[in-house]
Amino acid sequence: MWFKNLKLFRLAREGSYPRETLENQLQAHAFVSQSGSNEPNMGWVPPRSGQDALVVQVGAQLLCALRIEKKLLPSSVVQTVVRERAIELEAQQGFKPGRKQIKELKEQVIDELTPRAFSIARDIHVWLDPVNHWCVIDTASTGGAEQVLTLMGKSLYPYPIEPLTLVHSPSAMMTKWMLEQAPPTGLTLEQDCQWQSSGQQAGMVRYVRHDITPEEIERHIKAGHQCSRLGLTWQDRISFVLTDQFDIKRLQALDILDEHDNGASLDAQEKLDADFALMTAEVIPMLDALLNAVNDTTGE
């Protein structure tokens, strides 16, 4: 259970988060599949397949999962059926149906086809850290994170999620790290980076597996560019990309999974717990180091 993309929020410090309390609150919005609606359907599901608990606790860390279900009804299929119905209606009434009739036909077709449409579902995992006050959502999508936060707002009272407070712009800090070739302690600069300018004619330059020279960095800065994405490695154990929104993308464990594989045979649920425990233990100090670096005021 290693997250791939991290949307970062804070868990309110004054809150109390017993697993049983969270479980009861999430149960009120547990996922129930709906066959007759074309609107996205959301609800909480067990993170462990085959089990009923909506909140898994490993040590002090909590894990839950949101399922988003949507009917797959291609617009081309709807348009084809609407055209066929429009031809039939024209034959019946002797003239082509107007815009209002076409709209009504489309609504009828969608209502008829939706129950027979395929359903696609995706799960978004959420990690709650009551000790270090992190709320981490495993999604690269801002929309996905908003859906999670929306249902958390309906499920949890009092609402425990707060936005991050950042003293400095992540872009400004990444630009400084690149210019000085001096990332925060524990972090190593990698070969992937992206430089972005602002304004209506904003341009973007991306480097992939490329050693950017100091002259190139200075040229980008003079041209009004800032570093908007930067590949980093944490203590030679975790690689990731930090963005100008303070999102973490492409999180990847390096050799630490092999280090903790002692050859013991674990079932699927035990492996989920073990991987989740390892991930949280490794990622927490990395997140704290990044947040401290962006909020550092000693150099001002």
pLDDT beyond 60 at 262:
no
Please write the tens of the pLDDT for every residue from 86-132.
888 888 888 888 899 889 888 888 787 777 777 788 999 999 999 99
What's the sign of the alpha-carbon dihedral 45, 51, 54, 60?
negative
CB-neighbour burial class of residue 186 (10 A; exposed 0-12, middle 13-18, buried 19+): middle
Measure the CA–CA gap between 260 and 276, rounded to whole angstroms: 12
Measure the CA–CA gap between 138 and 15, rounded to whole angstroms: 22
pLDDT for the residue 34 = 72
β-pairing verdict for 118-129 and 134-138: antiparallel
pLDDT for the residue 296 = 84
Nearest CA among 226, 139, 242 for reference residue 183: 242
Least confident of 43-52, 152-161, 233-242, 285-294: 43-52
Q: Ramachandran region of residue 25, left (φ > 0), alpha (ψ -120 to 50) or beta? A: alpha
Q: Assess contact for 139 and 145: CB atoms under 8 A.
A: yes
pLDDT beyond 90 at 19:
yes
Q: Which residue has the higher pLDDT, 273 or 255?
A: 273
Q: Assess contact for 268 and 1: CB atoms under 8 A.
A: no
pLDDT for the residue 116 = 72
Domain boundaries, the chain: 6-73+117-162, 76-111, 170-294
Three-state secondary-structure class, residue 265: coil
Please write the tens of the pLDDT for every residue from 34-93.
765 666 789 999 998 878 999 999 999 999 999 998 877 778 887 888 888 888 888 888
pLDDT beyond 70 at 263:
no
